[in-house]
């Protein structure tokens, strides 16, 4: 069960960077920072769900003032302990409703499926409204999120595996009636299995566009990824950029 840190408490924060090591490699980080730095210009930028600073720290190192909102104190503590951590101010709170100091912001962004951590449609709508309220005119909201992998579900099946190896396995489960999903991780250590899961709510690109419209934002760009490749019907994820109209 989650504690005051949500599903990212001390037990997860302790080795979060190691468990997501591939996402911390330069080839995964640099394209993200390139896009965000270009959108932010002189800044400032605001990250919803800043975590341990995977993107915020290198973005700040580029000279963009960065603020973060993070529910988990344990994750925020890891960020602050890193070199350059004092350059990123973090406000503890729910990013669907929490306001950060230092605004209005040139760009607000959520990466690595963070929008799915809000497990109701109402909370996701609130997130868009919260972002729009903290953007300056002409500013942008950027979201990186996967496209629901429902085409891999035959009738009667609810689970899709995405990792199987000698150290364990991982799979997603879907409820297509409610758009609820959970990611499950089973690790095997010395012959013993340990299970951990986290709930999400998957969301479609068109649904995100409607949330943006309700918040007064308009779609500017949608790419398959941070390289700005075109988004197609075969894309497994997207990076979408919505703009707040200039005053």
Give the phi and the psi of residue 145 in degrees, each rounded to 5: -155, 155
Mean pLDDT over 209-227 rounds to: 98
What digits encode the pLDDT tens for the residues 106-159? 999 999 999 999 999 999 999 999 999 999 999 999 999 999 989 999 999 999
Residue 18: predicted pLDDT: 85
Answer whether 45's CB lies under 8 Å from 118's CB: no
Q: Hey, where are the domains in the chain?
A: 10-147+203-243, 150-198
Give 22-31 contacts, CB < 8 A, sequence gap 24+.
23/54, 23/112, 24/54, 29/54, 29/55, 29/58, 30/58, 31/225, 31/226, 31/227
Binned at pLDDT 50, 70 and 90, residue 13 comes out as confident
Residue 3: predicted pLDDT: 60
What digits encode the pLDDT tens for the residues 163-214? 898 888 999 999 999 999 999 999 888 888 999 899 999 999 999 999 999 9
Superfamily of structural domain 10-147+203-243: Vaccinia Virus protein VP39 (3.40.50.150)
Element (H, E) at 128: helix 121-134
What digits encode the pLDDT tens for the residues 19-63? 788 999 999 999 999 999 999 999 899 999 999 999 999 999 999
Binned at pLDDT 50, 70 and 90, residue 2 comes out as low
Residue 247: predicted pLDDT: 74
Answer whether 189's CB lies under 8 Å from 118's CB: no
Q: Is the peptide bond before 104 cis (omega within 30 degrees of 0)?
A: yes
Report CA-CA distances (Å) from 132 to 56, 199, 244.
Answer: 20, 26, 7
Q: From the DSSP assignment, how many helices (H) and strands (E) are in the chain?
A: 7, 11
What digits encode the pLDDT tens for the residues 72-99? 999 999 999 999 999 999 999 999 999 9
CA distance 206 to 236: 15
Answer whether 196's CB lies under 8 Å from 140's CB: no
């Amino acid at each position: 069960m989650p504690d005051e840190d949500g599903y990212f408490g001390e037990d997860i924060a302790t080795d979060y960077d190691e468990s997501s090591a591939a996402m911390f490699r330069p080839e995964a980080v640099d394209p993200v920072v390139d896009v965000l730095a270009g959108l932010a210009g002189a800044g400032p930028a605001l990250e919803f769900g800043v975590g341990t600073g995977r993107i915020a720290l290198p973005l700040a190192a580029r000279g963009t003032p960065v603020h973060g909102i993070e529910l988990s104190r344990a994750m925020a503590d890891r960020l602050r302990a890193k070199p350059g951590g004092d350059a990123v101010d973090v406000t503890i709170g729910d990013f669907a409703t929490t306001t950060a100091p230092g605004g209005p912001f040139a760009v607000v962004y959520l990466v690595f499926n963070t929008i799915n951590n809000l497990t109701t449609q109402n909370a996701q709508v609130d997130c868009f409204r919260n972002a729009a309220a903290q953007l300056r005119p002409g500013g942008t909201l950027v979201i990186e999120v996967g496209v629901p992998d429902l085409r891999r579900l035959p009738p009667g099946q609810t689970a899709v595996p995405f990792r199987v190896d000698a150290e364990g396995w991982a799979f997603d489960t879907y409820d297509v009636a409610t758009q609820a999903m959970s990611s499950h991780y089973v690790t095997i250590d010395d012959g013993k299995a340990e299970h951990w899961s986290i709930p999400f709510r998957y969301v479609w690109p068109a649904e995100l566009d409607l949330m943006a419209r309700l918040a007064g934002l308009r779609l500017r760009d949608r790419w398959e990824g941070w390289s700005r490749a075109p988004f197609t019907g075969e894309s497994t994820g997207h990076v979408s950029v919505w703009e707040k109209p200039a005053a």
